[in-house]
Structure 1
Amino acid sequence: MTIWGAALTLLVSTYTGQASVPGVAVAITKDNQVVAVQGFGHDSAGAPITEHSKMAIASVSKSFTALAVRQLADAGRIDLDRPVFDSRVTPRQLLAHTSGISDRTLPEKSLPQPSSPAEAVERAREVLRTAVPDGRYRYTNTNYHLAARLVELASGEEFNSYLKKHVFEPLGMTETVAISVTPRDLPADYRRGHGYAYGFSVALPEPERFVGGSDGVITTAADMGKWLAAQKKLAPADGTGWAADAQGRLRHNGIWFTSTAGQLLTPSGYGIAVMSNSGFTLGHEGTYELENAIADTLDGKPAEISSYRLPIDLVLAGLTVLSLVLGVRALRRPRKRHRAWQVLRLVPLGVLLALPTLLGMLYGGGRDITFYQLMHYSLPLVVWLGVSSVVNIGVAVSRWR
């Protein structure tokens, strides 16, 4: 059975065109039935995206980890409300991101990366010792790295093997695997995702990161259909591993620097999974908008798709050119006094150096990001600030002498 039609095809085509996304895969379920799986566009090797193309689902993986913890809790092997790892933090608080741990207390991307959940626990020992769960929501991958270790300790199995044996195989998800480190552990038939800048998508390797338990599931649209079809029985009443939005939809989104994904359960009984091979960038925060548009269409509501990805990059390109022109013009002018004012020309450099921290604090809710990852997120922003910094330093030096 399929419900795919012209309206949904138009939505996805509009999305991929406006946002310059090379490839998208979609799975749709109704109650416990898979009603559509479809691929659009191409992968980084030029092959068509199909329902069997391996794609990253990034932090959508957290719902799988939450299920594993709940399975062991139901079996009496994990007490969701008993503190773990010699801390005051409980498994329930880890899953709900209310552990007191955050990217500010443990910058999980900037620090040396672990290679296993056990190493992730060791990296977090000091933070765990001082963490004070206060009920406040602080999203961080560390919580789910620690949850993966709980699964290992309670089951006696390696985390990725546990998912394979107790989650993927029972659901018939034969094309799905879980990995620990990117890009090292990616399967051979996984094709690189893409970075984006100035209207162009370029195939890039995902930056090296530990993703065990937090965002390491690689799957296909066909398998995500099976996963969504099972959610009538599996989705937790408390939303653990999922989150309710303003429309009462349960969902979880996922972002890599070279891929994005999302899953959505509607009150009307539809399940929607979207995976794209284009990364998280300024003006493109994931597949959230496409998920909503598909859900609205299925519920008979008007749906719209828009993307600010290219306009933002074009504005940044214009600012880069303007900074260069004004800088050259300033260098050709006679020297002026008031040397102290030239210190202000160091502002663009200061903003550039502080940008990972600023974005994390002001835009990402305190999330951690390295400078290298920042270039994946918005190369045009880095280029503008870099050009402006060099030009302004040149003018300042020329007028200081």
Structure 2
Amino acid sequence: MWIRTKKQGSSPAGRLTAALGLTVVALAGLTPAALADPAPANALTPAAIDRFMDDYLEETGLPGAVVAVTRGDDVVHTAGYGHSAGGRPMTGRTEVPVASLSKSMTALAVMRLVEEGKVNLDRPVRSYLPEFTMADERAARITVRQLLNQRSGMADSAFPDLTLPQAHTLKGSVARMRGARLAAEPGTRWSYHNPNYFVAARLVEVVAGEPFADYLRTRVFTPLGMAHSRSVDSTTDMPEDARGYVRAYGRVVERGHPRWFTAGGHGVVTTADDLARWLIAQNNGGVAADGRRVVSAGSVDVMHTPPKGERYAMGWSLGEANGDEEPPLQHTGQLLTRNAIQILLPERKIGIAVVSNTGMISGDDSAGIADGLRDLAEGRSPEIREPFTMTADWVLAALTLLALGLGTLGTVRAKRWALRAAGRPLWRAGARALPYAALVALFPSLPELMGLLMRREGTLDQVLYVWPALYIYCAAASLAATVVIVVRAVHTVRTVRAARAC
């Protein structure tokens, strides 16, 4: 570093003054901080996190996100970046919905009741919640543990929750399952299903004798110091009504969120500052940042340990290990316009939480950000992993144009096709129409195809949120195929009539 000093002249006094000045400057620089090696660029520091996040937002166009990173019982960094759908700058105190990260918090509420001796994990749910009935006698055998581990036998395939009218209360959410059947014998199969946690939350409020949101606040959030966290009943009770963004063709489009019932399964609203407190307790065996024990280490271990042969525990799942390190624990949270993730690196005692205001699949930014922060935590230079739809959408755009082009060409040539088909057996014309018929069926069957991919049942309108470019491609391909079939049929009928008239 060059230091510019005022010229003192060539006299002995001037030279002495200059020498003393340089000595003072030099000695001032020899502080312990200056002598220490600067933190490498790939160290997990607030500055490195900020640099990575700034680069991520610039490269991907992500509107906004909040981040919480902890190590042991220390907060490494909490911050917000970008802006909300309402245009407000995001900070560490910005309220954000964390969707299914809520499940681990509901599980902790249940474990508080277990430690108080009010609930036994291996007793049937119905022994605490008689109102829990289904049109399947096997439901009487579902245990509390099976609910929390998503092994109750309930599944979207038997009760497609998000395609049905939504409840308004936890009591109503349990009551509407009375006509539902199970998809499997309790305890035999894992299936991710939000109503498992609606039932768990209703169990909490019945056993505790108070509303679930109140119990969660007084017995979980307040002891952990999470003063700005709460549970809400629906997306309409969330900040900005859960309004956020979806990605399409390299751009983000602001969208409102339909009303979903959320309590217990995906209804917690919190902040990055509070998420840091949550992560600390998870990594420290149930001890809060201020040293207060909220739940026993044994209970935390139960919540973090999947059943034998499974990867899902009580609101947590095993991730992919890096080398010889212990696999991380993690869970994602997804709304149509928001997504979130929390990760624990047990050996390093590091916790990472990210919430972004883009929706599932079309903008899974939180998972990409968390991967970059994990790179920093494990001493690697972070990579920016763009949501795959930022590339896939352009492939779908090309396929959409191709479908429309081929449809136009098929329509123009329909008369010629009909003339050729008139002299052939009818079955051959029908066989040649089958590929077009398959394309016609593609669009209305899109929810089922996406359901197979995501193991969740949804609606056509929800697909437009989840992946707009795929929706547009399927709609265009089905429309083009429909037009070709109709125009060919019209020309074929005319050709046959003309031939008979002759």
Shift of 1:339: 3.5
Distance 1:129 1:252, change over 3 A: closer
Shift of 1:272: 0.9
Alignment counterpart, residue 243 of structure 1, candidates 309, 313, 317: 317
Structure 2 SS opposite 1:13: helix
CA distance in 2 between partners of 1:349 and 1:14 (Å): 43
Give the residue type in structure 1 aligned to 2:269: I
Aligned to 2:238: 186
CA distance in 1 between partners of 2:179 and 2:82 (Å): 46
Alignment counterpart, residue 206 of structure 1, candidates 257, 280, 286: 257
Structure 2 SS opposite 1:264: strand
When Rg is computed on C-alpha atoms for both structures, the one with the higher figure is 2
Shift of 1:381: 1.0
Mapping of residues 42-121 of structure 1, within 5 Å? 42-85=83-126, 87-121=140-174
CA distance in 2 between partners of 1:400 and 1:227 (Å): 64
Aligned to 1:335: 416
CA distance in 1 between partners of 2:390 and 2:191 (Å): 31
Aligned to 1:142: 195
CA distance in 2 between partners of 1:132 and 1:53 (Å): 43
Aligned to 1:311: 391
Shift of 1:274: 0.6
Alignment of 1:360 with 2:411, yes or no, is no
Distance 1:181 1:355, change over 3 A: same
Moved over 6 A (4+): none
Aligned to 1:268: 348
Contact conserved, 1:197 with 1:380, CA < 8 A, in 2?
yes
Distance 1:382 1:4, change over 3 A: same
Contact conserved, 1:18 with 1:306, CA < 8 A, in 2?
no
Shift of 1:128: 6.3
| Higher RCO by CA contacts (8 Å cutoff, separation 6 or greater) | 1
Contact conserved, 2:155 with 2:183, CA < 8 A, in 1?
no
Alignment counterpart, residue 281 of structure 1, candidates 361, 369, 374: 361
May I ask how many residue pairs the two structures share in their alignment?
Answer: 395
Structure 2 SS opposite 1:151: helix
Aligned to 1:217: 268
Alignment of 1:326 with 2:401, yes or no, is no
Alignment counterpart, residue 465 of structure 2, candidates 376, 391, 398: 376
CA distance in 1 between partners of 2:183 and 2:473 (Å): 40
Aligned to 1:393: 482
Give the residue type in structure 1 aligned to 2:266: D
Contact conserved, 1:28 with 1:270, CA < 8 A, in 2?
yes
Cα RMSD over matched residues? 2.0
Aligned to 1:233: 285
CA distance in 2 between partners of 1:130 and 1:139 (Å): 12
Alignment of 1:258 with 2:337, yes or no, is yes
Deviations 1:64-98 (A, max 9, x none): 10000000111111111111236110110000011
Shift of 1:126: 3.9
Structure 1 SS opposite 2:301: coil
Mapping of residues 124-203 of structure 1, within 5 Å? 124-127=177-180, 132-183=185-236, 185-187=237-239, 192-203=243-254
Mapping of residues 20-59 of structure 1, within 5 Å? 20-59=61-100
Provide structure 1 residue ranges, at least 5 long, that are not aligned to the other structure.
none
CA distance in 1 between partners of 2:354 and 2:459 (Å): 27
Shift of 1:3: 5.7
Q: Percent identity?
A: 35
Give the residue type in structure 1 aligned to 2:403: S
CA distance in 1 between partners of 2:474 and 2:197 (Å): 35
Give the residue type in structure 1 aligned to 2:276: G
Distance 1:66 1:251, change over 3 A: same
Contact conserved, 1:343 with 1:396, CA < 8 A, in 2?
no
Contact conserved, 1:66 with 1:241, CA < 8 A, in 2?
yes
Shift of 1:130: 8.1
CA distance in 2 between partners of 1:153 and 1:32 (Å): 34
The structure where helix makes up a greater share of residues is: 2
TM-score normalised per structure 2? 0.75
Shift of 1:343: 4.0
Shift of 1:219: 0.9
Distance 1:41 1:162, change over 3 A: same
Distance 1:161 1:303, change over 3 A: same
Shift of 1:348: 1.8
TM-score normalised per structure 1? 0.93
Distance 1:3 1:306, change over 3 A: closer
Structure 1 SS opposite 2:52: helix
Contact conserved, 1:61 with 1:216, CA < 8 A, in 2?
yes
Shift of 1:285: 3.6
Bigger mean CA offset, 200-209 vs 69-78: 200-209
Contact conserved, 1:58 with 1:256, CA < 8 A, in 2?
yes
